[in-house]
Structures are given as C-alpha cells and as structure tokens.
C-alpha cells in the first residue's frame, strides 16, 4: 500500500471560505472509528492559510471511552496525514 503524503490524496482539499459542507475555512471534520478500539470519534483537522501548521483534534462519541480526546499538532503535512491514516479508519470528507 502506498503511503499518503497529502490531505488531497485522502480526499480533503482545504479551501478558504468555500468547499464542501464541512471543509470550510481551512478545516474538515468527520465521525470515524479509532483503529485500535473501533470507538467513534468526532475528528476535526485544521490548517492555516499557508499550510505550515496542521492541528488534529478528536473527541470520543462514547461516555465510556478509554480515550476522551486526542489532540496533535504538526508542522509537516505528511506527518499529519500519516497520523490520521494510522490512527483512524476511513477518514475522508463528507
């Protein structure tokens, strides 16, 4: 399997003030399962206009979750994409 290096390769194109119903203002979110447990998380990915910072914040949808929240920041897009792909299943844009 080829490693994905950009968000565009996993179907997310960040736009400024327009785009799909969730990818507005340089952010995207979706509800996806955590690979390690299958628990559903509301995952929010955001970046700045010049794509030098990538923030991933995820909140559990379960009251009995082992992991309540996951929050990571990256300066390199491929590192953020790798984290998303290794941590969550099927993250993509609505």
Q: Vertex 23, ends 21 and 25: CA angle to 5°?
A: 115
What is the side-by-side strand order in the sheet with 54-60?
Answer: 27-33, 40-47, 54-60, 69-74
Average pLDDT value over all residues in the chain: 84
pTM of the full structure = 0.84
- Of 22, 26, 20, 12, the closest CA to residue 81 belongs to 12
- Categorize the per-residue pLDDT at 18 as very low, low, confident or very high, splitting at 50, 70 and 90: low
Q: Is the pLDDT assigned to residue 58 strictly greater than 90?
A: yes
pLDDT at 28: 85
pLDDT per residue over 60-93, tens digit each?
Answer: 987 765 668 999 999 999 999 999 999 999 887 6
């Amino acid at each position: 399997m080829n490693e994905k290096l950009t968000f565009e390769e996993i179907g997310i194109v960040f736009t400024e003030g327009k785009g799909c119903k969730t990818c507005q203002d340089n952010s995207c979110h979706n509800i996806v399962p955590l690979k390690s447990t299958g628990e559903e998380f509301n995952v929010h990915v955001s970046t700045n206009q010049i794509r030098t910072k990538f923030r991933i914040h995820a909140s559990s949808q379960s009251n009995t979750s082992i992991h309540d929240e996951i929050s990571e920041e990256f300066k390199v897009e491929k590192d953020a994409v790798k984290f998303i792909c290794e941590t969550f299943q099927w993250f993509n844009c609505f």
